[in-house]
Amino acid sequence: MDWNILPGGDLIQQGLLDLAVSAETVPSLLVSIGAPRLRSLGLAVGEVPYSDPEHRLYLLLAEEDSNSAHSRYNALIRRLVSFERCVS
């Protein structure tokens, strides 16, 4: 399946790749947040090495730009939910 045609598919695909090499990135943290639901939808999500990925994602976004961290976090979560809905 070409995930790039789905909303957020690019982030999910990159997040799975990043998780496979234990890279803490925005996409890998997003996949970590959605891991239980993504697994239930049949995606092969490996072990999530991060505790509290929601907080870690927010902190990573705040490091890049603290003024927009909240809105960017919410936008990323919306993309994750959109992807999950398309796959289900």
Mean pLDDT of the chain: 93
Radius of gyration of the CA atoms of the chain, in A: 12
Give residue 76's domain range. Answer: 3-87
Per residue in 4-33, pLDDT tens? 789 999 999 999 999 999 999 999 999 999
Task: Report the length, in residues, of the chain.
Answer: 88
Number of domains in the chain: 1
> What's the predicted TM-score (pTM) here?
0.92
